[in-house]
Chains A and B, each alone.
Chain A
Amino acid sequence: MADRNVNPQPSAPAYELEEPTLATARAALEGFFGQHTQDLWLTLLFDAGLTGAETDPKALHRLIAVMQVSHPIARLCARSLAVRVAVHDRLVRTEKR
């Protein structure tokens, strides 16, 4: 399963997935923490050494790493985000090259 998929045709992108960003992470947290998200968000950003305005993939990787040792529910969010980042990097970004 998935062996067929190692080199998808570049002319016909088959995997559609938006590139995860810091905004994706925040939205995921808001799904759980609602109005209480802001305090957690600021703490996570501080621990990751981020301002929240970063747009590079490395910033999201740093945030995910901090989330993985944070609140248990945030850890679940981090795990989901990590899958989405990895799949995007492995499949979608590769297709666009």
Chain B
Amino acid sequence: MNGGSREPAGYPDRFEVLADIDLDDPELRRRLDLISERTAGRLGQPVALVSMVLDTAQVFPGSYGLTGWLAEMAGTPIEWSFCVNAVETGAAYVVPDTTVDAKQADNPLVTVDGVRSYAGVPIIVDGAVLGTHCVLGTDAREFTDADLAELRRGADEISGVLGAYRSARGDESEG
């Protein structure tokens, strides 16, 4: 699990888009937190995230339900990221039971932090896959089509927020 230098997916476009977004903007974070809270509630999962997948880490500009070091760091090294899989493929990534999943069973988020299930869908802004909107659970779970549709609705809303935010920042810098 060491190294952390995965080939950046889709460079340069998605990193150029990411670079235009101030992920620390308080109003942006507040809006992304609200969407995360709503998604967690609708899917009945304890944690929902807006994860932006960078080159060697993922960061969470929006979240609901995180505790402990994950809440403190608001991110993880890329090696521990579930979301990077959705970013690399541009498709939903679902792990109903992480403990029997060949790719994730050794992930410390599973073995130590108790993540037992995951579902994430890509967040796409201006054609670039920036990250995912996802839920984490502490129990194994089969995600339904309706669950994924709800995640996609959230991801679409997040894409809209980020896209509008990026445009507004661009207008400000040009003005």
Shortest distance from the beta carbon of B144 to any chain A beta carbon, whole Å: 22
Query: When the two chains form their complex, are residues A1 and B66 in contact, meaning their CB atoms are under 8 A apart?
Result: yes
Query: When the two chains form their complex, are residues A32 and B55 in contact, meaning their CB atoms are under 8 A apart?
Result: yes
Shortest distance from the beta carbon of A1 to any chain B beta carbon, whole Å: 5
Shortest distance from the beta carbon of B140 to any chain A beta carbon, whole Å: 15
Assess A87 versus B112: contact at CB under 8 Å? Given A2-B69, A2-B71, A32-B8.
no
Residue of A nearest to B22 (CB): A75
Query: When the two chains form their complex, are residues A75 and B68 in contact, meaning their CB atoms are under 8 A apart?
Result: no
- A31 and B59 alpha carbons, distance in the complex (Å): 19
Query: When the two chains form their complex, are residues A6 and B69 in contact, meaning their CB atoms are under 8 A apart?
Result: yes
Interface 9-residue window, one of A13-21, A38-46, A47-55, A58-66? A13-21
Assess A1 versus B2: contact at CB under 8 Å? Given A31-B8, A84-B57.
no
Produce 1/0 per residue, B1-43, CB < 8 A to A.
1111101100110011011100100000000000000000000
Interface 9-residue window, one of B74-82, B85-93, B149-157, B160-168? B74-82
| Interface check B47, CB cutoff 8 A | yes
Among A1, A28, A75, A86, point to the contact of B113 (Cβ < 8 A).
A1
Query: When the two chains form their complex, are residues A76 and B112 in contact, meaning their CB atoms are under 8 A apart?
Result: no
Shortest distance from the beta carbon of B137 to any chain A beta carbon, whole Å: 9
Query: When the two chains form their complex, are residues A77 and B59 in contact, meaning their CB atoms are under 8 A apart?
Result: no
- A44 and B68 alpha carbons, distance in the complex (Å): 34
Query: When the two chains form their complex, are residues A17 and B113 in contact, meaning their CB atoms are under 8 A apart?
Result: no
Contacts of A77 on B, CB cut-off 8 Å?
54-56
Q: Shortest 3 CB-CB distances between A and B: which pairs? A: A2-B68, A72-B19, A83-B57
Could you list 30 A-B pairs, sorted by A, with CB under 8 Å? A2-B70, A2-B71, A3-B67, A4-B112, A4-B113, A4-B114, A5-B68, A5-B112, A6-B69, A8-B112, A14-B112, A16-B1, A16-B2, A16-B108, A17-B79, A24-B4, A31-B7, A31-B11, A32-B8, A32-B12, A76-B54, A77-B54, A80-B55, A81-B57, A83-B58, A83-B59, A84-B56, A86-B73, A87-B73, A90-B69
